Amino acid sequence: MKIVVFSAQPYDERSFDEVLQRDYASRGFELIYQKATLSVQTVALAEGSEAVCAFVNDQLDAPVLETLHGYGVRAILLRCAGFNNIDLEAARRLGLFVARVPAYSPEAVAEHTVALILALNRQIHRAYNRVREGNFMLDGLLGFNLHGKTVGVVGTGKIGMATARILKGFGCRVLGLDLYETAEFAALGEYVALDVLLAESDVVSLHCPLSDATRHLIGAASLARIKPGAMLVNTSRGGLIDTHAVVAALKSRRLSALAIDVYEQESQLFFHDRSSDIIDDDVFMRLMTFPNVIVTGHQGFFTVEALREIAETTLHNLDCFVSGRACGNVLAGDT
Tell the smallest beta-carbon distance from residue 84 to ligand NAI (Å).
7
* Closer of 47 and 111 to ligand NAI (Cβ): 111
Pick the closer one to ligand NAI by CB: 43 or 200: 200
SS (HEC) of 9-68: CHHHHHHHHHHHHHHCCCCCCEEEECCCCCCCCCHHHHCCCCEEEECCCCCECHHHHHHH
Q: Of 237, 254, 264, 309, which residue is the catalytic one?
A: 237
Instruction: Find the shortest distance in angstroms from Cβ 161 to ligand NAI.
Output: 7
CA distance 311 to 53: 11
Q: Which is nearer to ligand NAI, 254 or 298 (CB)?
A: 298
Residue list 79-98, contact with ligand NAI (CB under 6 A)? 81-82
Q: Which one of residues 31, 246, 262, 295 is an interface residue with ligand NAI (CB under 6 A)?
A: 262
Angle of CA points 116, 237, 168, to nearest 5°: 45
Instruction: Please tell me the distance from the alpha carbon of residue 226 to that of residue 218, in angstroms, as a whole number.
Output: 9
Q: Which of residues 165-224 bind ligand NAI (CB under 6 A)?
A: 177-180, 207-209, 213-214
Angle, helices 158-169/106-121, rounded to nearest 10 degrees: 50
Q: Which DSSP string corresponds to 267-326?
A: GGTTTS--TTSPP--HHHHHHHT-TTEEE--S-TT-SHHHHHHHHHHHHHHHHHHHHT--
**Tally of residues, the chain:** 335
If binding is defined by CB under 6 A, does position 301 make contact with ligand NAI? yes
**Through-space distance between the first and last CA atoms of the chain, rounded to whole angstroms:** 18
Nearer of residues 1 and 103 to ligand NAI, judged by Cβ? 103
Task: Compute the distance between CA of residue 2 and CA of residue 289 in angstroms, rounded to an integer.
Answer: 45
Nearer to ligand NAI, 49 or 243 (CB): 243
Q: How far is the CB of 125 from ligand NAI (least distance, A)?
A: 18
The minimum distance between CB 124 and ligand NAI, in angstroms, equals 19
Q: Least separation, in Å, of the C-beta of 1 and ligand NAI?
A: 27
- According to DSSP, residue 157 is labeled S
Residue of 261, 317, 304 whose CA lies nearest to 101: 317
Distance CA 233, CA 197 (A): 14
Residue among 200, 264, 266, 309 flagged as catalytic: 266
Active site annotation includes 14: no
Q: How many residues bind ligand NAI (CB under 6 A)?
A: 29
Residue number, 149 or 237, with CB nearest to ligand NAI: 237
Closest CA to 242 of 217, 259, 206: 217
Binders of ligand NAI among 31-90, rule CB under 6 A?
81-82
Judged by CB under 6 A, the stretch of 139-147, 153-161, 225-233, 319-327 that binds ligand NAI is 153-161
With contacts defined by CB under 6 A, name the span among 10-18, 197-205, 293-301, 313-321 that binds ligand NAI: 293-301
**Which residue in 153, 159, 241, 258 binds ligand NAI (CB under 6 A)?**
159
**Contact yes or no for 95/333 (Cβ under 8 A):** yes
What amino acid occupies position 118? L
Binding ligand NAI (rule: CB under 6 A), the pick from 49, 123, 156, 222 is: 156
Strands 97-99 and 75-78: parallel
Q: Is 30 among the catalytic positions?
A: no
- Which residue number, 177 or 307, has a Cβ lying nearer to ligand NAI? 177
- Tell me which residues touch ligand NAI (CB under 6 A): 81-82, 103, 106, 109, 154-160, 177-180, 207-209, 213-214, 235-237, 261-262, 298, 300-301
Catalytic site residues? 237, 266
